[in-house]
Structure 1
Amino acid sequence: MTSLRPLTRRGRVPRALLPVGALLLALPLAACGSESDSEDKAGGGTSPAAEAFEPVTIEHAFGSTEIEEQPERVATWGWGSGDAALALGVTPVAMPKYSYGADENGRMPWQTEAIEELGGEEPALLSETAEAPIEEIAAAQPDLILANYSGITEGDYEKLSKIAPTVAYPEEPWATPWREVITTVGEALGKADEADQLLEDIDAQVAAAAEEHPEFAGKTIAAVAIDPSAFYVYRGADPRVEFLEDLGFELAPSVDELDTADETFYYMISTEEADKLTSDVLVSYSPNEDAAAEVDKSAAAKAMQQFQDDTVARVVGESLVSSVSPPTALSLTWGLDDFIEALVPAVEKADAQG
């Protein structure tokens, strides 16, 4: 699974089959499954956390899900829900395997750090497939499945719900606000207060970054992924854009004016229309320096004022791109400093333009 998800409404497309621009779009109790957990469950024992758990009902796109008992074996699918669980001290029994931006373990670097810190058994890694790997998830024997930032279909949901209570996204696939991913996971795990505190801590770090860079405030911005065959623009509802707004930027009016309404969180425009996407600053995501150089030489770049004025913030590197595309409970602060560093030169150039 990638972080800047090139997704259809059916779910993820395997990265190996996608061009660079699409790859950029495709772009989230105790330690679960331990021997002592199994013994307690088998012996009928209950932990204080389980005894204190209050049943919850979570509404989502496919109805509602009741969670009546403290989850002990949590599986996650999509982007961000696994990070939220880890940030709240719960290691999933199964979570997606990644290749884009991942380490040798098939995990994002911030996930590996959190898993090592929590200790206990490591999660099983689910195959990178276009649709949820139902059999693999079932094999992990979860008692809760979190897919609240994903592309599962209603058919997927029905199959997953036969395995365990399943939480889907609230309205549209791949469009759940990153904060809501965290609060929903917290609610499902009986850790709503901890989730609220986690968000307060993250927001404090983002607010501090915005305060350190008052020059961001009021600057109009557009976020894009470009490759030789396509030009993708992120909508205002996309979590990537919401994060930029948290830092003080404003969505450029041209983003809405050019919207073709062909996908949930992004749309595509032709190279001929690229010059109409005006903004003070353009954020361009690229997996590596070679790809960034290709973007700079593209016909779209040659047509855009931002490239001519050097007001392009180039976010380069698979892990960094993934950390903010969209951000998660773990990744946002992991990549924050490098992301700010990428933004500053472009904003300074925009200021110089007057």
Structure 2
Amino acid sequence: MRLRRSLITVAGAAVAALALSACAGPSSDSAEDTSAAGAAEGFPVTVDHAFGETVIEDAPERVATWGWGATEAAVAVGVYPVAIAEQVWTVGAGNYLPWVEAAYEEAGEELPTLISDPEGGATVPYEQFIEAEPDLILAPYSGLTEEQYDTLSEIAPVVAYPEAPWTTPWDQTIRITAEALGRADDGEGVLQGITDGLAEQAAEHPEFAGTTFAGVWDGDGFVYVYTAADSRIEVLTELGLEVAPSVSELDTSDGGFFYELSYEQLDRLEADVIVSYHNTKEEAEAFLAKPELQAIPAVAAGRVAQVYDPVTVSSVSPPTALSFDWEGGLPTLVEAIAGAVQQ
């Protein structure tokens, strides 16, 4: 399990992580129409990020993505990447995230090249980026190190995260991607649609207002607790939920998106509801029955909303521009939380 988005390793570390896109195939006329023509105004574009600033002189025609969410954000504003990071933990090597594949097929676009990423961003296959011949690499929600950023920048301009690895808010991932593509207005339109949808769900669940929660993934002798800096947690606050004060009180991550909490301290993780993420249904059921986890007050009281299986976990860890409405994803999690609140 991958930890960055999902919880732990991203290869088992959490689910939540990578998914992508940017400008159709090199021989596709429609690719030029959607990626260049519609985004020609407003260049050059300068994007500030954790490693400095990146200047994009002209509308990119061959976009590559790395990390999580940038592919979907690009597609949502009309740009189809030619190369994207594979999501091994989620769908296995050589496969596409279902919402990404569906978007390309519906648009009649050639599916992008998959860039190998078996370690959830720990290593970068520079040769594959070179072969893809990108004129822009988008990685606003990723784990790039400065060394990786510098090396990739020798291939093409790179847009990294604004502050820290794997902590870019879901809406900022969309906004940064749209800005880099010269489609800031389109990006705001996408965000408005998502925000309206979240507001509708919040209105349907007034019981969420003021309800505290904590997101966790069970480890071995400890649980991983997601901090408020994690996008999968932040998006739930859009529904009226509040991150439990105990999450920050116990936080040892020093600004990270998760931390380990030993079983001996579980009784201190006080929250109205626990949201737990799992690889399988069997693991989810085992979580509820595990004696040690009964020390968490909400678990003992049966107030637990669960998400399991790699694809479903990834769809909400965090949601992307294309997965907010994905069947079985966030809407199902919302209903699970509603059920837990009523316990």
Q: TM-score, normalised by structure 1?
A: 0.88
1:293–1:39 distance in 2 versus 1, CA, 3 Å: closer
Q: State the match for 1:279 in structure 2.
A: 271
Within-5 A mapping of 1:175-324: 175-261=167-253, 264-324=256-316
* Deviation sequence 1:14-57 (CA, Å, 0-9, x none): 72xx5xxx3447674x942331559989xxxx964364342110
Measured in 1, the distance between the counterparts of 2:31 and 2:238 equals 46
User: Aligned partners of 1:216, 1:139: CA distance in 2, in Å?
Assistant: 48
Aligned-partner Cα distance in 2 for 1:39–1:198: 20
Deviation of 1:294 (Å): 2.1
Measured on the aligned residues, the alpha-carbon RMSD in Å equals 2.6
Q: How many residues matched? A: 335
Runs of 5+ consecutive residues of structure 1 not aligned to the other structure: 8-12, 350-354
Q: Give the secondary-structure state (helix, strand or coil) at the position aligned to 1:269.
A: strand
Q: Residues 238 and 50 of structure 1: is their aligned pair in 2 closer, same or farther, counting only changes over 3 Å?
A: closer
Structure 1 counterpart of 2:151, which letter? Answer: K
**Structure 2 residue corresponding to 1:72, chosen from 61, 76, 80:** 61
List gaps (5 residues or longer) in structure 2: none
Change in CA separation of 1:325 and 1:123 when aligned onto 2, cut-off 3 Å:
same
Q: How does 1:1-354 map to 2 (within 5 A)?
A: 4-5=5-6, 15=11, 18=12, 22-24=13-15, 28=19, 31-37=23-29, 48-49=37-38, 51-102=40-91, 106-129=95-118, 130-261=122-253, 264-334=256-326, 335-349=329-343
- What is the SS of the residue equivalent to 1:272? helix
1:210-238 per-residue CA deviation (whole Å, 9 max, x = no partner) reads 10010111101111111334310111121
In terms of Rg, which structure is larger? 1
Q: Indicate how the Cα distance of structure 1 residues 207 and 287 shifts in structure 2: closer, same or farther if over 3 A, else same.
A: same
Deviation at 1:149, TM superposition (A): 0.5
Contact 1:127 1:133 in 2 (8 A): yes
1:40 to 1:284, Cα distance in 2 relative to 1, 3 A: closer
Identity %: 46
Tell me the distance in 2 between the aligned counterparts of 1:302 and 1:47. 55
* 8 Å Cα contact 1:175/1:239 also seen in 2: yes
Residues 89 and 118, structure 1, Cα contact 8 Å, conserved in 2: no
* Residues 164, 25 of structure 1: alpha-carbon distance in 2 compared, 3 angstrom cutoff: closer
Counterpart of 2:179, as a letter, is E
Q: Taking structure 1 as reference, are residues 134 and 299 closer, same or farther at Cα in structure 2, changes over 3 Å only?
A: farther
1:48–1:279 Cα change, 3 Å: closer
